[in-house]
Amino acid sequence: MEVQRGPDVLEVLRERTTDLRKVDAEGFRRWLEAQLPGWRRDPVFAQRERIRDLRQACPELRELERERKRARDADAASREGARLAKLEEELRGVGQAIAGLTAAAEGAPAARQARMREKLAAFHTRRASLGAERDARTAASPERAHLLRIGAELRRLRAESGVEAAEARLDELLQAQGRRAGRAGGGFERAAVEAVRTHLLPEWGEPAPIILTGVKLGIAGTEFDQVIVRGAPGAPVEVLAVVEAKHNPNDLGHGYTRRRSDLAWLTGEDPTPRVTHHFPTGRFDRPAVHEQYLFAPGSFQAATLYFVTRMAPLTGLSGGAMARLRHRVATSSTPPDELLAWCRTLAEPIEAPDVLALCPDQILFISHRNTEAQR
């Protein structure tokens, strides 16, 4: 694993940055054209483009979808609509209960199985009764009949056009992508801890500080990736640094904003209450414990905020915003000028290029064959 830090690496990163908040229309077109070949190597992006093209080749499909929406609205507003919706909800609940009881009965002691069979029989009777009422009300509702006809026609057209199979394949690809992202995230977190241990801890000399990970302290919605402390278990520690690890460097802006807010609350600089079970006053006015280490009011007064991330081009938009951009490019035919204007609405007040300017000496960039291969 290689760790880079300092003005030289920041200058290289700035040269590789295209800040979409500031680029002009022609610059955005050039940037977008340069991204497309790489994006299309992503099976998910390519599959979304395929679905878009299939849908565009079948205008009847889009018209049927619009008609289905109108039919749903009419069905919901009809005389039978509310009761039919309630019946379907109850039928789903009964179906789940039957499935759960059936699974539980398989491994239950013989003494309990008779009682469970009685419950199952009652649920089956209830399902039959609900189903009969639903069928009768459906037959009495022209709005529901029309909705069912539109639904059947839409299913037929989705199958014939290839959209249904293409969307099923997209679901498979998304599930596989999620599994890979989880593995990559875990590997990056371990690499981030090693980078801090090797390249930051020596700066504080002896005795060597301690790295604590996943620190929550009872603060609602807050978990610090790493907290570097000096002190002994059972006594209030001194926090030397808080480290935010971001696999995607474009998320540095969000991390900076969030952690600066957390530190301001912990030091009393921000008086906005954060009421939790552990902090009923909304202030950091009592000790909190992580593992055996005690954090007291005053522990964070000298803490410095650091970041660990990967070396990759910056865009001036967060990873989430970039994902939305890729999704829109793959699924629509929005003109570049409109895309650029829309992109700018996704930017937060502080983005990654701003963090480079605000705290250039507090960012560690790591690269490793394993983490790079999981991009």
Taking the domains of the chain in order of start, what are their residue ranges? 2-41+187-373, 52-169
- Contacts of residue 107, defined as CB under 8 A and 6 or more positions apart, other chains included, come to none
DSSP type of residue 209: P
Structure confidence at residue 373 as a pLDDT band (50, 70, 90):
very low
Residue 177 has pLDDT above 90, yes or no: no
- Residue 328 in this model has a pLDDT that exceeds 50: yes
CB 275 within 8 A of CB 212: no
Question: In terms of pLDDT, which residue wins out, 50 or 186?
Answer: 50
Sheet holding 238-246, edge to edge: 2-4, 363-367, 304-310, 238-246, 224-230, 210-215
Output the average pLDDT for the chain.
92
- Express each pLDDT in 331-368 by its tens digit: 999 999 999 999 999 999 999 999 999 999 999 999 75
Task: Kindly state the average pLDDT of the residues 29-42.
Answer: 95
pLDDT of residue 184: 61
Please state the rounded mean pLDDT for residues 146-157: 96
Categorize the per-residue pLDDT at 273 as very low, low, confident or very high, splitting at 50, 70 and 90. very high
pLDDT at 1 over 90: no
C-beta pairs of 65-74 under 8 Å, 24+ apart in sequence: 65/154, 67/150, 68/147, 68/150, 68/151, 68/154, 71/143, 71/146, 71/147, 71/150, 72/147, 74/143, 74/146, 74/147
Position 368 scores a pLDDT of: 57
pTM recorded for the entire structure: 0.80
What per-residue confidence (pLDDT) applies to 20? 95
Residue 374: the pLDDT is 39
Per residue in 60-99, pLDDT tens?
A: 999 999 999 999 999 999 999 999 999 999 999 999 999 9
| Lowest-pLDDT choice from 3-12, 28-37, 104-113, 221-230 | 104-113
pLDDT of residue 375: 39
pLDDT of residue 372: 40
Please give the Cα distance from 368 to 117 (Å, whole number): 58
Position 308 scores a pLDDT of: 96
Token digits of residue 253: 């802006």
pLDDT band at 111 (very low <50, low <70, confident <90, very high): confident
Question: What does the pLDDT average to over 187-201?
Answer: 92
